[in-house]
Amino acid sequence: MFKSKASKITGILLLSASMLLSACGKSDKETSGTAAKNALEQIKEKDKIVVGVKYDTRLFGLKNPSSGEVEGFDIDISKELAKDILGDEKKIEFKEVTSKTRIPMLNNGDIDMIVATMTISEERKKEVDFSDVYFQAGQSLLVKKGSPIKGLEDLKKGTKVLAVKGSTSAVNIREKAPETTVLEFENYTEAFTALKSGQGDALTTDDSILYGMVDQDSNYELVGGTFTDEPYGIAVKKGNKELVDAINSALKKMKDSGKYDEIKNKWIKSN
Amino acid sequence: MIDFSILINNLDTYLEGFKNTIFASIIGLVGSFIIGVIVAVMRIAPIKPLNWIGTVYVEFIRNIPLLIIAFFFYVGLPAVGVTLSGFVAGTIALSIYTASFIAEAIRAGIQSVPKGQMEAARSSGLTYVQAMRTIILPQAIKIVIPPIGNQFINLVKNSSILGIIAGLDLMYFGDIVSSHTFVTFDVYIFVALFYLVLTIPLSLGVGYLEKRLARNH
């Protein structure tokens, strides 16, 4: 995928093959030409950070239909990063990513960084570079109130657990409850819609995202506590130490000044 | 350039999806054809209320995106107590949707046989059904085969809609392989090849049938 010839063809064929990348029309010449240049310099040159965020995840990145703005924890953190790196929180552009599209979009050069509830994992570290942990989540289960499922041990053969394609939670749940049927959806909205219409018995992902669903519909609750550690990191294209350092220093300043806690308390009210 | 290890390492996953895509396509082909014939008959039968029902079906279903029909069966029907799996919901949606196009192809084919043929058959003493069966349909079928063949090919490709509603088809497992290997291009190339394995023979079959029918008459 990193070979320039392969990535050129990738750019052209992905469109027809999968409708995955809505914005892959970006010139490949430009991408391969600037890939050697350091990503931090590129950002400073164009005086704007393009951040891939979720548009469908309540509390983290959700598009507000009335204002048309994306709002959430990830958004506010990104704005603080822009403020620190470019001196103005408005020098930022958000692009929608899903768990499935975020790494290809980053590698294609459509976005400069991913701030999208993304868990740091060894496997992903082979594909991208991560910043320090900026949020600590854990995988849990969401069920309808009164469900017989009280925790992981109730996920038996024939139980249907809903997850999102490309998320670590889908992989984890297969390991922790190998007997159960896992159905994977495009995004959290679709997975939650499927849960609400009885297409599954439980929905699994990070507690942080599940709290957002409870916030939306109080007929659902989290059960069984968390059974994994999901440290969220900000991802940049592989081999961009300067940008990672800049992000880490911005994160540290945010934590020291109390701005981080302010943002966190604004969005995440549970525990 | 294409990494065949993706295919080899995930062959079981691909084949599981391929199998379900074949099932969905076969059920869809049979289902859409049956529904399509019924709707076409309703549209051309000399009974006004049936015409209306047939027209409403075609104009309504044909002009709604397949994705919405699939969502209706998957997440809409449970509201009235009917819960269908992604595979079943998707296959029903596929059949109903394709049937509207097939009905149109059949109607157009039958109506393209000159009116005088029916009038001559009726005046020589045949009933409407007899005239239809022995005079009109054998002529119409030649005209109808190519467009129906196109719809069947579309149906196989459209079955990828199952991937969105956890229908466990080729597209669904393609997405999963892609998300676990972080490879997009190569994964979907193999998905495309599996679809071609189904659609190219179908395409050739339709072409052959077309030629044979042309010879017989």
The tens digit of pLDDT for each residue in B151-209 reads 999 999 999 999 999 999 999 999 989 877 878 889 999 999 999 999 999 999 999 98
Q: Is residue A32 part of a domain?
A: no
Instruction: Flag whether A14 is in a domain.
Output: no
Same domain, A122 and A50: yes
The CA distance from A240 to A36, in Å, is 10
B83 interface with A at CB cutoff 8 Å:
yes
Assess if residue A144 is contained within a domain.
Answer: yes
Res. A22 pLDDT band, cuts 50 70 90: very low
Residue A29: inside a domain, yes or no? no
- A46-50, A85-89, A250-254, B176-180: range with lowest mean pLDDT: B176-180
CATH no. for residue B60?
A: 1.10.3720.10
* Start-end of H helices in A36-72: 39-46
Q: pLDDT digit string (tens) for B86-130?
A: 999 999 999 999 999 999 999 999 999 999 999 999 999 999 889
A80 and A60, same structural domain?
A: yes
Among B75, B182, B183, the residue with its CB nearest the CB of A199 is B75
User: Which chain B residues in 182-211 lie under 8 Å from chain A, judged by CB atoms?
Assistant: 182-185, 188-189, 191-192
We report the CATH number of the domain holding residue A198 as 3.40.190.10
Q: Which domain holds residue A192?
A: 139-223
Q: Which domain holds residue B52?
A: 4-216
Let me know whether A49 and A115 are in one domain: yes
What is d(CA B69, CA B212) in angstroms, rounded to the nearest whole number? 36
Cross-chain residue pair B76–A197, CB shorter than 8 Å:
yes
Q: Is the same domain home to A151 and A129?
A: no
Residue A127: what residue type?
E
Cβ-Cβ contacts under 8 Å for B102 (sequence gap 6 or more): B32, B33, B35, B36, B37, B40, B148, B151
Q: Count how many domains chain B has.
A: 1
pTM above 0.90, yes or no: no
Q: Are residues A46 and A171 in the same domain?
A: no
- Domain assignment of residue A15, yes or no: no
Residue A47 half-sphere exposure toward CB, CA atoms < 13 A = 3
Is A1 near chain B, with CB under 8 Å?
A: yes
Question: Rounded to a whole number, what is the distance in Å from the CA of A165 to chain B's nearest CA?
Answer: 6
Cβ distance A243 to A40 under 8 Å? yes
Instruction: Give the pLDDT of residue A19.
Output: 41
B166/A contact by beta carbon, under 8 A: yes
Residue A23 lies in a domain: no
- Optimal mutation site among B184, B189, B190, interface A, most CBs of chain A within 10 A: B184
- Establish if A190 touches chain B: CB-CB under 8 angstroms: yes
Q: How many domains does chain A have?
A: 2
Residue A16 falls inside a structural domain: no
| Partner residue opposite B189 with nearest CB, options A17, A20, A194 | A17
**Residue A108 C-alpha, separation from nearest chain B C-alpha, in angstroms:** 11
Band of residue B79 on the pLDDT scale cut at 50, 70, 90: confident
Beta-carbon separation of A14 and B182 below 8 A: no
Tell me, yes or no, whether A107 and A45 share the same domain: yes
Question: Whole-angstrom Cα distance, residue A24 to residue A43?
Answer: 19
Question: DSSP character for A91?
Answer: S
Are residue A174 and residue A49 in the same domain, yes or no?
no
Residues A62 and A88 in one domain: yes
Global ipTM: 0.75
In a domain, A207, yes or no: yes
Q: Are residues A43 and A126 in the same domain?
A: yes
* Chain A residues touching B76 at Cβ < 8 A: 197
